[in-house]
Homo-oligomer: A and B are copies of this chain.
Amino acid sequence: MRIRLTLALAATLCAGALARAQPPSLRIDVEGWLSSHQRSIVGELADLLSIPNAAGDKPNIARNVDALRAMFTRRGFRTETLATSGNPLVYGELAVPGATGTVLFYSHYDGQPVDAKGWKQSSPFTPILRDGRLEEGAHDLPDLATRDRFEPDWRLYARSASDDKSPIVALCAALDALKATGHAPTSNVHVVLDGEEEAGSPSMLAAIARYREKLKADAMVILDGPVHPTGRPTLNFGARGILTVELTVFGPKFGLHSGHYGNWVPNPAFELVRLLASMKDDRGHVLIQGFYDGLEPLAPEERAMLDAVPDDEAALKQLFGIAETEQPGLSLQDAVQRPSLNIRGLSSAFVGANARTIVPDRAVAAIDIRLVKETPSTPMLERIKAHIARQGFFIVDRDPDDATRASHPRIMKLESEADGTNAYRTSPLAPASRQIVSAVTRVFGQPPVQIRTSGGTVPIAPFIDAMGFPAIGVPIVNFDNNQHAENENLRLGTFFTGITTLAAVLTAEMKLAPAGK
């Protein structure tokens, strides 16, 4: 553990050390109950995974909504279907006597589209139990429905097994376990389940204004994403945003013979590569003016938090087959505290067997910028445009006509999402953050892995911004879950640990002050 302790850390990271003296009775109680109820928990998950959930499959979306409402109703929730312009939200409220606050749990019930051909099972919606990872030669195990015990390394294969139906079942199981063992949640438990997350949650975001009163809470817990690769309980306090931009540089109106016109007619691919090269140096530092504006040095407790993340960077480098990182010496956790500039695609004419000796008519780069809290989308887009203009390009929003071509030697079509998605970050020193960290630390006897900023983007960040509550991610699924791809899976040991993590979160001593983000 590379924790450099500071006094300010004591309250967050070291809550575990202080709490370790307490008997971890909740963990013993919950794990005991879970060990004798594996069949019903896995069975409930398998049933839910058997309902197809592509966002466009309206009849099955309706079946999911009915099943989800029934699951929460069985746990004493008052449930509702909240209409939106697209798939509805499933909403539920469990009033807890003596609650010290209200926590809203978010998950989503839609899944990524499936290409059944790539799956090693009859259907992505017919869950299969296996004795390990498919990539490591795992075998199918029969009798999913009648087994009483599941080994930790066994996995359930199905679409949404990890993203994002298992957290819903885990929340229900955690509530069941608490009730059965005489524990109780400390806050009112509200849930909201999105039906279009994989499409960027457009309908949910549009519905915020309509359901604002209902969605109010003292804190939000996001049930999505994987735990740290170590498998340890993990909390996320933020996520980067994203802005995508497509850049097209125009050359001659049609591809020209590179012998007759090469080095007379300008080559758009050369203009594009010079522009892109002007944006980032060979040490990974972005050269766009103002790109890092607003970033402050990390406070000591933030520094310690990053250093405490048990990343195995050597293993990652070996896995990825890279000798050096983009900014040698910068840790993965440090890297994702900054905005990034990534070329995600390049295209101009042809390479390989189809290559032809031409001056291409255009060259295209698709780039994405991951944003942090200090670098919101709108000014970032303006900075990018200003940089491109400074390189001598005339910026247009459509293919240029003859008059534009005749009057501008360098023409760039710039297309971007209107708004991008901003980052969010909840302070790890906010009361909700500290209390959830304390609860998980107390239950597990050591602090969870705490991620200041997750590198990826969560489309509900605008929802968090609009509602103004502190939001904390509590992932419960394995890192290597093939999320979004074929053969998505859930490691059952990780899942059961996650149920205990949620039991800890539900019993956090929430003494909630006004939200601090």
Contact = CB atoms under 8 A, between A and B. Distances in A.
Top 7 A-B residue pairs of the complex, sorted by shortest distance between their CB atoms: A259-B456, A263-B340, A277-B277, A269-B343, A324-B409, A253-B321, A273-B273
Interface of A is mostly: mixed
Interface string A399-429: 0101001111100000000000000000000
Contacts of A392: 282
B352 A366 contact: yes
Interface stretch (A22-30, A31-39, A139-147, A354-362): A354-362
A262 B348 contact: no
Contacts of A262: 340, 342, 368, 370, 455
A500 interface: no
A351 B362 CA distance: 13
Contacts of A340: 258, 262-263
Interface stretch (A107-115, A177-185, A326-334): A326-334
A457 to B, nearest CB: 6
Contact of A349 (B240, B261, B345, B409): B345
Contacts of A457: 259
A323 interface: yes
Given A266-B324, A269-B276, A323-B406, 7 more contacts: A260-B454, A270-B276, A273-B274, A277-B278, A322-B409, A344-B359, A345-B355
Given A257-B456, A341-B263, A455-B262, A322 B252 contact: yes
A359 to B, nearest CB: 6
Interface in A433-468: 454-457
A244 interface: yes
Contacts of A265: 320, 322, 325-326
A267 interface: yes
A221 interface: no
A330 to B, nearest CB: 7
Given A242-B259, A342-B258, A366 B355 contact: yes
B246 A355 contact: yes
Interface in A364-378: 364-366, 368, 370
Contact of A355 (B244, B266, B269, B326): B244
A406 B321 CA distance: 6
B355 A344 contact: yes
Nearest to A328: B409
B264 A332 contact: yes
A199 to B, nearest CB: 14
A160 B82 CA distance: 69
B351 A365 contact: yes
A284 B318 CA distance: 40
Contacts of A325: 264-266
24 contacts: A252-B321, A252-B322, A258-B340, A259-B336, A259-B456, A261-B332, A262-B340, A263-B342, A264-B326, A264-B332, A267-B342, A270-B343, A271-B282, A273-B276, A277-B277, A321-B405, A323-B408, A343-B363, A344-B349, A344-B358, A346-B348, A346-B363, A347-B348, A351-B365
A211 interface: no
B345 A364 contact: no
Contact of A258 (B280, B356, B370): B370
Contacts of A406: 318, 321, 323
A95 to B, nearest CB: 37
Nearest to A483: B257
A260 B316 CA distance: 12
A256 interface: yes
